């Protein structure tokens, strides 16, 4: 099913940069709006069991709310490094790189002025496809190398596919994700405690009090992070902020997670090429984020899958969000 695309102005930044909003839409189906500030998913309209559509992604209606926001990252493309780097530093090829520290002593989601704060360039906008690009200069937020990044959003029927690409002029680290916060009952509808979650992850990366991995990869058995069988999000407490290790990681998009909202019947499946997902239910936010990623603090953890990117290499990652509906009121 070919999606249409529409463009309209979304405002200007304090420095006079124009920001646009693009809407990809399938007739009577899914509709996705993306703003060029932060290359962010602003809204996703998805039909429920009864055919009625609701916005299932948290976002802001005005640009000033995105530029003023300091911690929610609603819908944004996250880089250069999603999640945390301990101590705001890492060593690569014997060189110490000091980073922006914006979460205690850690660098979180690329630092205070990460990719979520940038106005991305539109490089392609056609039926069902929006491609955005940003070049991060050497030393930005402390990261080495000029990093040329491209994010492609494709809407095909019930599937929103995000493809990430990056190249660098010098050895660096890269970990890109999308930070859409979901509420399948509809934005503003209240708690996601009754959403049913399943994640194909038999292991997780335990963390310390600062949410920094200890370096261990442990079994989820007997922990609150065992979502291998369907479980209501609120059944074990609702404040999750944890990386889990996906069972399938063969380089092709594999089913990693499924969320069901039993009342509306809406479902969301997440497929990814990444080795992990950050399950985040947002303190004081009625949402769940499923951030596909390499592991937190990987630059300081040689045993974790590498996030190093070198000039002769090309970074590529894919995540697919597949929307659907239940046929009855049973969650599953």
Q: For residue 92, is pLDDT > 60?
A: yes
The residues spanned by each domain of the chain are 4-325
* Span 22-37, average pLDDT: 95
Confidence of residue 251 (pLDDT cuts 50, 70, 90): confident
Q: Do residues 270 and 288 touch, judged by C-beta distance below 8 A?
A: no
Whether residue 32 has pLDDT greater than 70: yes
Domain with residues 4-325, CATH architecture? Distorted Sandwich (2.70)
Residue the block writes with tokens 């006079």: 16
Residue 332: its pLDDT value, please? Answer: 43
Residue 329: per-residue pLDDT: 47
Give the per-residue pLDDT at 318.
Answer: 98
For all residues of the chain together, what is the average pLDDT? 95
pLDDT tops 50 at residue 260: yes
Check residue 328 and give its pLDDT: 58
Write out pLDDT tens, residues 102-112. Answer: 999 999 999 99
Q: In the block, which residue shows the tokens 């934005």?
A: 187
Which has more pLDDT, 237 or 93?
93
Residue 220 CA to chain centroid, in angstroms?
22
Which residue is listed with tokens 């989820």? Answer: 220
CA angle at residue 301 from 295 to 307, to 5 degrees?
55
* pLDDT of res. 1: 64
DSSP secondary structure string for all residues of 205-239: --B-TTS-B-S--EE-TTSTT--SS-EETTBTBS-
* Residues belonging to the active site: 179, 291
Dist. CA 309–CA 147, nearest whole Å: 10
- The yes-or-no verdict on residue 64 having pLDDT over 60 is yes
Under the banding of pLDDT at 50, 70 and 90, the label for residue 285 is confident
Convert the pLDDT of each residue in 158-217 to its tens digit.
Answer: 999 999 999 999 999 999 999 999 999 999 999 999 999 999 999 999 999 999 999 999
Q: What phi-psi label fits residue 251: left (phi over 0), alpha (psi between -120 and 50 degrees) or beta? A: left
Tokens found for residue 159: 């599937």
Peptide bond into 42 cis (omega under 30): no
Secondary structure element (H or E) that encloses residue 273, with its range: none
């Amino acid at each position: 099913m070919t999606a249409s695309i529409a463009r309209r102005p979304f405002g200007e930044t304090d420095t006079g940069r124009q920001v646009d909003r693009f809407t990809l839409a399938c007739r009577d189906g899914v509709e996705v709006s993306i703003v060029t500030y932060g290359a962010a998913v602003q809204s996703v309209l998805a039909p429920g069991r009864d055919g009625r559509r609701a916005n299932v992604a948290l976002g802001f209606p005005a640009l000033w709310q995105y530029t003023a926001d300091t911690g929610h990252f609603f819908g944004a493309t996250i880089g250069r490094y999603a999640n945390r780097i301990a101590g705001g530093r890492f060593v690569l090829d014997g060189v110490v790189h000091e980073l922006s520290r914006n979460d205690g002593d850690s660098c979180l989601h690329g630092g205070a002025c990460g990719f979520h704060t940038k106005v991305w360039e539109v490089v392609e906008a056609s039926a069902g496809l929006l491609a955005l690009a940003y070049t991060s200069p050497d030393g930005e937020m402390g990261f080495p190398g000029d990093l040329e990044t491209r994010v492609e959003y494709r809407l095909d029927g019930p599937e929103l596919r995000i493809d990430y690409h990056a190249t660098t002029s010098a050895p660096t680290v890269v970990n890109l994700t999308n930070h859409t916060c979901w509420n399948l009952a509809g934005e503003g509808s209240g708690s996601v405690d009754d959403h049913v979650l399943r994640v194909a992850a038999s292991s997780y990366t335990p963390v310390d009090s600062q949410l920094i991995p200890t370096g261990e990869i442990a079994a989820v058995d007997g922990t609150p992070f065992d979502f291998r069988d369907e479980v209501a999000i609120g059944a074990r407490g609702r404040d999750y902020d944890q990386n889990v290790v996906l069972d399938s990681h063969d380089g092709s998009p594999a089913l990693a997670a499924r969320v069901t909202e039993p009342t509306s019947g809406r479902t969301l499946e997440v497929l990814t090429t990444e080795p992990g997902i950050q399950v985040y239910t947002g303190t004081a936010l009625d949402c769940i984020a499923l951030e596909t990623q390499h592991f937190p603090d990987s630059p300081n953890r040689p045993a974790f899958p590498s996030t190093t990117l070198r000039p002769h290499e090309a970074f590529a990652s894919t995540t697919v969000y597949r929307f659907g509906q239940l046929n009855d009121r049973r969650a599953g």
